[in-house]
Chain A
Amino acid sequence: MNPFFLALILIVCGGIVSLLFWNKPHFVRTIPVLSISGGSVAGLFSALNNFSAPHNPGVEWLWLGRFPLSFRMDPLSAFFLIPVFGIALVAALYSYDYLDQPKKGLRSAANYFFFSLLVAAMGLVVCADNILSLALSWELMSIASCFLVLYDFELKDNRQAAYIFFIFTQAGALFLFAAFGLLYAETGSINLAAASTLPDSLKLTFFLLAFVGFGSKAGIFPLHIWLPHAHTAAPSHISAFMSGVMIKMGIYGIIRFYLLLETKSLIYGQIVLCVGVISGIVGIIYAVGQNNIKRMLAYSSIENIGIILIGMGLGMFGVASGNQALAFWCFTGALLHVLNHSLFKSLLFMGAGAVIHGTGSPAIDRLGGLIKGMKFTGTAFLAGSLAICALPPFNGFVSEFLIYGGAFLGSFFEGPDFLVSALAIVSLAVIGGLALACFTKAVGTVFLGEPRSPEATRNHECGKFMRLSMAALTLSCLAIGIFPAIIVRPLTGVTATILKTAEIPRTELLDLCHHISLGAAIFLALTLLVFMFRQYLYRGKEIHSGPTWGCGFTRPTARIQYTGTSFGAPLQDFFSSIAPLHEDYSTLKGPFPGAASYQSVPEDRAEKVAANGVAQPVLRTLKRLRWIQHGNIQLYIAYIVIAIILAVIITVLI
């Protein structure tokens, strides 16, 4: 454990140093980038060392002489540490160029400080071994991330985003603390492992409380409301880190707590699977309608959380029904998707960041043709889009392939469970189709075609460090996609320890990986052949260039192009009951109409319900109690005195 803590200390030190020397432009970025990336590399090594060490002695010490904190790294924690440190490393590199804003020295320094805290807190979350240490590191993570969202605090939208985020993290934490309280009240132990001794009747309540708490962090529908706001407001490397890694802490919590319960009831799988299906489909439907590129990516994170939950839910089915192969495939697939999503989603957020950096606009419908000026970013974003649509030969395909494989095994169930398994397969297919629509829209509108606005014309390619981090992520997506065995082999060990079985169908899984490699190799070889054939056909031929065929229209402008909104319109229309479009249209009036305007905003159902159904009534009720709060200090002191007297009287009476 020691190298791990040293890595965390190194990371946090970088943040502190940056904060101390905020007015020295050389220090503000160089020191924290060096120490965060150095610490991340060290952390990666310590995680890899513990990958196959199921019985690692933990570390324990007393905090404030009274509260025992304990941390332990088992293979599951070690696995989650890989995206934590891996993405922290690339995000830190990326930020070197991205935060190159000399006038905002203090702000960048604060950003590095909270970023380092966030990385360290996540490291602690996945290693926490009792409820105190988990609660502390969880809160540290939440608070650090709230401050990170506030980077551009002058904008009202961003302050509002941070506020919503804060409310959600704290409300989610309340549910977690309720689960902890239940555990402590029932077993008298603060050790997480005590959860397995809970009576069966309480296990489900305990799990549901924790599921809501962790789920709000993971962004399951309908607890996702904070996610699109926070991810849009944060600087891009932070969005990448939050979407790639932080929401996975919710997934980690769900897996960990499920395993702690050691239960074999079917209901857990059913709950997780259904929530996964809903989050997956609703998330991607919302994503298609978005016009802000980062908002779109945020909604697509909800979809991917859905896919992970589908895998986990099926895995829980397997555990409950004693179908080892099903459990093994689906858990491995879900875990692999955690890693894969952290890679390609960070890549996409970084690409989006480069677009915003290069053009100043995040609005998809105002961009276009960027790949000509930003060839590198465009290609990387294209690769990330292919990966997130789970298309071979990229990594997203491998994890979905494993989940599909498991789901098909599950389709041998009889009765309602068969329907659930079939539902999982069909919804994965539908999610795949919707993701394809969503990301062809993003790539096609932002990077291809002609620029739709002056901002899009003035684009410029991003700096070397930004390109370096995107290149690293693209290559890892491709590497896992073509050679899945390198990551699946160690991953099977993790799955085996968490499922506590010795007999695992490992060879079968590795065979599959080889098949995927074979498929990718055949496809790439054929691509090369066809490409050479095409070159042969074009040998010595005349290649002309001219304008696009306008179908008889002679004066085309860039504005006649299909926009992202029009591309997604048929879909939006079809799913309007789930994702309604709010339209404002000032109709033309009179024989000589003046200027007219049209505006459409995709509405988030859950957000609307939360605002109108929860927040407004609460505010109305609380408004009636405003008279208590009058600003008179003397009376406030009187309240305190009265409260103390009442408390004393009540305790004496009882």
Chain B
Amino acid sequence: MRTTILLVISLLLLPVLAAFIKKVKALLTGKKGPPLLIKYFTLAKLFAKGSVYSTSTTFVFRFMPVITLTVALTVLLFLPLAGSPSLLSFRGDVILIFYLLGLARFFTICAALDTASPFEGMGASREAFFAIFSEATLFMVLILFFRISGSLSLSGYFSGENAINVWRPEGGLLLLVVAALFMVLLTENARVPVDDPATHLELTMIHEVMILDHSGPDLALIEFGSWAKLYFYAALIANILTPVIEGRPWITALFFLLIITFIYFAIGVMESITARYKMNLVPKFILTSFAFAFFATILTMELSR
């Protein structure tokens, strides 16, 4: 029940959190920034519109928004929040989750290539390329989590007896994982320094350029899906960082939401103080996160003796 309530709150917060990053960036650069509810207005505007489809496109293009949103929602169903178990969970669900995200990526790339636009092809190529490395990091993290918790599901990782948490005795090395996951979050959700969501030049974009040709409700579905995906990664990190207070679940939940907000704040700060990397530096950036995860796993090998 608590998970359901938290999930609903989270879903309602998604547009606000997305706007929150914009607000942070604006404030840091000395501007006023849009109101926090701006993304709600954007959604309402897009829902009211019709669409223009390119004559080059096929059903793959129209199906993509449905798939990306569905994947993001399915993934949220498996997500434990603030120490309470997820709505759905089974042994091995983490593998299903990351492969479902792969399915969404497959359709995003195909929809981009479907438009016959060279810019979208460019973005698609980069998306396919960078994902290889972030998947390596993610599965390295999964190995570590499996060794700590003996479980192969998100709920098993973050709830119950062996929950993975920084505040536990051996939690120090999880800070490395937090860093690795944050880097993966930036990569997978097309944020600076891998991609710049605010750029005006199609040549330099990755995710935004792949959805250039989508419009109206389709675009709204894609946007909502990408917010949900960002939230999923942020919640993974927040689950590691949240201090679980015994017998006070709602206080834990409050901490959780605060940490989520802090992660979004960190993304905003990151985007204000760093520039995006040259494309050929991005693999090195992501491979650094792999090194973090790998190092943390090697440390458990010694600790568990």
Listed residue (B69, B99, B213, B283) with the most chain A CB atoms within 10 angstroms of its CB: B99
A405/B114 in contact, CB under 8 A: no
B117/A548 in contact, CB under 8 A: yes
B122/A562 in contact, CB under 8 A: yes
Q: Which residue of A lies closest to B78 (CB)?
A: A519
Residues of A within 8 A of B45 (CB): none
Known: A426-B136, A444-B109. A543 touches B146 (CB 8 A): no
B contact residues, range: 35 or more
> Interface-forming stretch among A90-98, A116-124, A143-151, A569-577?
A569-577
- Bound form: Cα–Cα A599–B125 in Å: 21
Residues of A within 8 A of B129 (CB): 437, 570-571, 574
B132/A434 in contact, CB under 8 A: yes
Residues of B within 8 A of A515 (CB): 90-93
- Bound form: Cα–Cα A522–B138 in Å: 24
Residues of A within 8 A of B138 (CB): 429
- Bound form: Cα–Cα A428–B57 in Å: 33
Known: A440-B124, A551-B117. A369 touches B102 (CB 8 A): no
Residues of B within 8 A of A443 (CB): 110, 113
Residue in B49, B66, B103 whose beta carbon sits within 8 Å of that of A386 in the complex: B103
Residues of B within 8 A of A412 (CB): 147
The number of A-B residue pairs with CB atoms under 8 Å apart is 242
Residues of A within 8 A of B124 (CB): 440, 444, 562, 567
- Bound form: Cα–Cα A392–B142 in Å: 19
Residues of B within 8 A of A389 (CB): 102, 106
Residues of A within 8 A of B71 (CB): 523
Q: Which residue of B lies closest to A284 (CB)?
A: B132
Q: Mark B181-220, 1 if CB is under 8 A from A, else 0.
A: 0000000000000000000001000000000110011101
Residue in B96, B115, B139, B216 whose beta carbon sits within 8 Å of that of A429 in the complex: B139
Residues of A within 8 A of B105 (CB): 436
A436/B106 in contact, CB under 8 A: yes
- Min CB distance B145 to A, Å, is 10
> Interface-forming stretch among A37-45, A456-464, A527-535?
A527-535
B70/A527 in contact, CB under 8 A: yes
A546/B126 in contact, CB under 8 A: no
B106/A408 in contact, CB under 8 A: no
- Bound form: Cα–Cα A534–B47 in Å: 10
B56/A450 in contact, CB under 8 A: yes
B135/A433 in contact, CB under 8 A: yes
Residues of A within 8 A of B51 (CB): 538, 541, 543-544
Whether A2 is near chain B, meaning CB under 8 Å from some CB there, is no
Whether A499 is near chain B, meaning CB under 8 Å from some CB there, is no
- Min CB distance B287 to A, Å, is 10
Residues of B within 8 A of A549 (CB): 54, 115, 117, 212-213
Known: A531-B66, A548-B56, A548-B213. A405 touches B152 (CB 8 A): yes
B70/A448 in contact, CB under 8 A: no
- Residues 94 to 133 of chain A near chain B (Cβ within 8 Å): none
Residues of A within 8 A of B93 (CB): 515, 519
- Min CB distance A1 to B, Å, is 39
Residues of A within 8 A of B52 (CB): 543-546
B67/A444 in contact, CB under 8 A: no
A570/B132 in contact, CB under 8 A: no
Whether B55 is near chain A, meaning CB under 8 Å from some CB there, is yes
Whether B73 is near chain A, meaning CB under 8 Å from some CB there, is yes
A401/B96 in contact, CB under 8 A: yes
Known: A404-B95, A444-B110, A537-B47. A369 touches B77 (CB 8 A): no
Listed residue (B49, B143, B218, B279) with the most chain A CB atoms within 10 angstroms of its CB: B143
Residues of A within 8 A of B122 (CB): 562
B143/A527 in contact, CB under 8 A: no
Q: Mark B35-62, 1 if CB is under 8 A from A, else 0.
A: 0000000000001011111111110100
Whether B140 is near chain A, meaning CB under 8 Å from some CB there, is yes
Which 9 residue pairs are nearest across A and B when measured between Cβ atoms? Answer: A562-B121, A444-B113, A433-B132, A437-B128, A537-B217, A429-B139, A515-B90, A449-B116, A548-B54
Extra pairs beyond A412-B147, A546-B52 (15, CB < 8 Å)? A386-B106, A404-B92, A411-B147, A433-B102, A440-B109, A441-B128, A448-B58, A449-B115, A522-B74, A529-B70, A541-B50, A545-B54, A549-B54, A562-B118, A571-B128
Q: Can you give 18 A-B contacts (C-beta < 8 A)? A: A386-B103, A389-B106, A391-B103, A392-B100, A405-B91, A408-B146, A425-B139, A425-B140, A434-B132, A436-B105, A443-B113, A448-B60, A449-B114, A522-B88, A530-B73, A544-B50, A548-B213, A566-B121
